[in-house]
């Protein structure tokens, strides 16, 4: 399944919708969306994962990049992650570093 990462700025929030399968082949698209978002200096990063069906560690590495690029003061929200994707976040300890919610706001 193809992957897409669509960025939308809403006030001071960077909202990125991730769709499809996020593997090492397409992670650069996600990283570029993060880079574009970082240039807007958002106060909050909101990642919608409702239709993200697969996430490899390449996706986790982009989350690390996002935190390092934007700074610890920018809160990261993960919205609607499906069971297996959520499990990957939990196994990796990322659930302690981001706000995980079913819905937003």
For the bound state, the minimum distance from the C-beta of residue 84 to another protein, rounded and expressed in Å, comes to: 4
By CB under 8 A, residue 63 contacts another protein: yes
Among 9, 24, 39, 101, binds another protein (CB under 8 A): 24
For the bound state, the minimum distance from the C-beta of residue 45 to another protein, rounded and expressed in Å, comes to: 11
Record the tokens describing residue 99, joined without a space.
Answer: 């706000």
By CB under 8 A, residue 84 contacts another protein: yes
Q: Are 69 and 33 a contacting pair, CB within 8 Å?
A: no
β pairing state of 13-22 and 44-55? parallel
* Phi, psi dihedral angles at 32 (to 5 degrees): -65, -35
Q: Are 3 and 17 a contacting pair, CB within 8 Å?
A: no
Q: Could you list the residues that contact another protein (CB under 8 A)?
A: 1, 21, 23-25, 54, 56-58, 60-61, 63-68, 71-72, 76, 83-84, 87-88, 91-94, 96-98
């Amino acid at each position: 399944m193809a992957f897409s990462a669509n960025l939308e700025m809403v006030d001071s929030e960077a909202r990125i919708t991730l769709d499809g399968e996020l593997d090492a082949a397409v992670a650069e698209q996600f990283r570029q969306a993060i880079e574009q978002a970082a240039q807007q200096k958002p106060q909050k990063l909101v990642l919608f994962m409702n239709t993200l069906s697969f996430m490899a560690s390449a996706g986790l590495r982009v989350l690390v990049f996002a935190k390092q690029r934007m700074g610890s003061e920018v809160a990261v929200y993960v919205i609607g992650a499906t069971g297996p994707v959520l499990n990957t976040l939990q196994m990796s300890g990322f659930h302690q570093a981001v706000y995980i919610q079913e819905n937003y706001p």
